[in-house]
Structures are given as structure tokens and as C-alpha cells.
Amino acid sequence: MKFLVLLFCTVFSFTVFAQAPKKATPIKKSVPVVVTKKKSTEKLVEITTEYGVMIARLYDSTPLHRDNFLKLVQEKFYDSLLFHRVIKNFMLQGGDPTSKNADSSASLGGGSAPGERIAAEFRPNFFHKKGALAAARDNNPEKASSNCQFYIVQGNKVDTAQLSQVYQQSVKNNNPNFIYSAQQKEIYQRMGGTPFLDQNYTVFGEIISGLNVIDKIAAIPTRSGDRPIKNVIMKIRLLN
């Protein structure tokens, strides 16, 4: 009898175990996908003067000018050169190698680095707003840039009538496809710049820190040839 009871309990126990529902598989919670912004590859350079420090971002969309400028910076080409031409409410120009240790009476602006000019890289989204970093040039028909001289825009605030005049001039110059965006118009009105240079000189970067330094340098008294009475010496280094 004991054997039968034991057998029955064993069979019942096995039957209950065999028929028990399987343990439910836990539902995995969905993990939100985090989209990380791609880091910008644009290079930053630091321009140091006794009037303060400016940080400029170089555009990837103007690779010829970017790479040429970076090469000169890494060679310390610009160290001890001058902002030799300063015009208030317009721009600061520098990078002439003959400006290093130049006599106060020396005529500056005609120097260049070894090599050829840099082919123009006009881009409709890069314009001469305040802080624009652009390449100087002579009057060559291709509008190719100096291989070392550059300028930084100060400019004035610009109204829509002035921008309309610039557009009409671009049509006369066989460049009718250049039209200012709403954002560009707003920036010109709020920050200022020099729109009459747009699509005529290559803009290859912009000052992202130190816009007040532009104003300080632009306010310096100048002599004939727009050269500051007191030398404005620069030093440029790569930040990244």
C-alpha cells in the first residue's frame, strides 16, 4: 500500500511538473537610440596680438585656402608679421612677409610666400560678415588669392537697399545666381560686414571668438598707406 501511495505521489508530482507552464521570457525594454552629432573636422587657429586673442575657424569647403593657411601657420610663417593695413569700419590686413622688422617708412603689402597664387574658391554660403577671414589678392583676372596675405572684416551694419545694390552689381558681373539668403541678410543688418566684396574675394574662415579685438585694432590711429602708427604684431598657432 505504501508502495502504491509513493508511486502515485511520484507520478502526480512528475505530471504537475511536466504540465507546469514555461517560465515567461522577460520582455526586453527598448533602448532609445542616441544620435551623436559628427564632430566638426574644421581647424581652429589662434591669432594673438597685444590687443587680445582671436580664434578663427577655417572652412573645410575651401580646402585650397585652408591647407595653404595651415601650412604657413605650422611653419610659423606669420609669427612676428604685422597687420600692416588697417581701415576702420572696413578690415584689418596682414601676412606680408616683408612686414617683419620693417622700417616705419617701408611700403608694405606687396610681399608673398614662395609658390603660386591660390585659385579662387567662392562659395555662396560664405560671405563678408563681421569677423570673416578672407584672402587678399591683386587685380589678376582669375581673382586668385595671395598665397599668404589675408584680412579680417570689421565693416558696418548693412541695410537691404545696400544688399540689393550688391546683387544688381553681381548681375552686371555675370553672376546672377548669387542671392542673399534671409539669414545672411539678418546677419549683415545685425552684425555688419562688407558685402561689396562678396564673390570677388575668397572667404575661407571666420572669427568665432574675439570680435572685440577687431574693433580695438581697427580703432588704432594710422599713417599714410593705412599703416598703424604703432605696429600690430601677430602670432598664429594651430589649436586642433
**What average pLDDT does the chain have?**
86
pLDDT of residue 177: 60
Per-residue pLDDT, averaged over 105-130, amounts to: 95
pLDDT of residue 171: 74
Any domain includes 5: no
pLDDT of residue 38: 52
* C-alpha span between 154 and 183 (Å, rounded): 19
Quote the pTM value: 0.82
| Alpha-helical runs (H) found in the chain | 2-19, 63-74, 160-172, 182-190, 211-218
Q: Residue 93: give the domain boundaries.
A: 44-98+122-238
Per-residue pLDDT, averaged over 233-238, amounts to: 98
Cα 60 to its chain centre, rounded Å, is 8
- Higher-pLDDT residue of 199 and 148 is 148
Any domain includes 231: yes
Does residue 173 register a pLDDT over 80? no
Any domain includes 59: yes
Any domain includes 103: no
| Residue 215 CB neighbours (<10 A) | 15
pLDDT grade for 116, boundaries at 50, 70 and 90: very high
For residue 153, what is the domain's CATH number? Answer: 2.40.100.10
How many domains does the chain divide into?
Answer: 1
Radius of gyration of the chain (CA): 32
Using CA atoms in the order 187, 191, 194, 200, what is the torsion angle rounded to 10 degrees?
Answer: -40
Question: In terms of Cα–Cα distance, which of 184, 137, 143 is closest to 160?
Answer: 184
In the structure grid, which three cell numbers stand for residue 212, read together? Answer: 572685440
Any domain includes 149: yes
pLDDT of residue 21: 39
Does residue 178 register a pLDDT over 60? yes
Any domain includes 21: no
Any domain includes 75: yes
- Higher-pLDDT residue of 80 and 27 is 80
DSSP structure string for 70-132: HHHHHTTTTTT-B--EEETTTEEEE--GGGTT--TT---S----SSPPBPP---TT---BTTE
With contact defined as beta carbons under 8 Å apart, do 91 and 154 qualify? Answer: yes
Percent of the chain with pLDDT over 90: 72
pLDDT of residue 8: 38
Per-residue pLDDT, averaged over 184-189, amounts to: 95
pLDDT of residue 40: 62
- Higher-pLDDT residue of 55 and 170 is 55
Does residue 184 register a pLDDT over 70? yes
* C-alpha span between 203 and 197 (Å, rounded): 10
**DSSP code for 174:** T
With contact defined as beta carbons under 8 Å apart, do 80 and 132 qualify? Answer: no
Least confident interval from 30-34, 135-139, 145-149, 184-188: 30-34
Any domain includes 4: no
| Residues 8-59: tens digit of each pLDDT | 344 333 333 333 334 444 544 544 555 445 556 799 999 999 999 999 999 9
